[in-house]
Amino acid sequence: DQQVKQNSPSLSVQEGRISILNCDYTNSMFDYFLWYKKYPAEGPTFLISISSIKDKNEDGRFTVFLNKSAKHLSLHIVPSQPGDSAVYFCAASANNQGGKLIFGQGTELSVKP
């Protein structure tokens, strides 16, 4: 039962352009969403989060959009840089489950110079 889905296993983008990573979820109890970035042989690093009371959160080059009616969120990176190349995981949590995170399968982003 995959409650959080990232349907694109990989994405390739030119340096300077926008990267858009997508995530869908099925559990309507999820009310907090996070994006993590992961390099090989390292642990995930927190990037940005959004609460279900908002539809947008921005931090520098990173913006997360939430569409609750569609149960969809996306991460926009603009402008994309080669150092952004990594695997990006979407995660979700529900207030009644503490900080337990349910992760998507990840999308591998490659930013080409």
Partner 1 sequence: NAGVMQNPRHLVRRRGQEARLRCSPMKGHSHVYWYRQLPEEGLKFMVYLQKENIIDESGMPKERFSAEFPKEGPSILRIQQVVRGDSAAYFCASSMTRQGGRSTEAFFGQGTRLTVV
Could you tell me how many residues of this chain bind partner 1 (CB under 8 A)? 23
Q: Verify binding: residue 11, partner 1, rule CB under 8 A.
A: no
Q: Which of 20, 65, 71, 102 binds partner 1 (CB under 8 A)?
A: 102
Q: Which of 1, 43, 83, 113 binds partner 1 (CB under 8 A)?
A: 43
Give burial (CB, 10 Å; 0-12/13-18/19+) of 112: exposed
Measured from the CB atom, the residue of 44 and 84 that comes closer to partner 1 is 44
CA distance 47 to 49: 7
Tracing tokens 């858009």 back to the chain, one arrives at 20
Size (the chain), residues: 113
CA distance 25 to 16: 29
Measured from the CB atom, the residue of 14 and 97 that comes closer to partner 1 is 97
Distances (CA, A) of 37 to 45, 94, 96: 5, 21, 25
Q: Verify binding: residue 10, partner 1, rule CB under 8 A.
A: no
Q: Verify binding: residue 46, partner 1, rule CB under 8 A.
A: yes
Residues binding partner 1 (CB under 8 A):
6, 32, 34, 36, 41-46, 49, 89, 95, 97-106
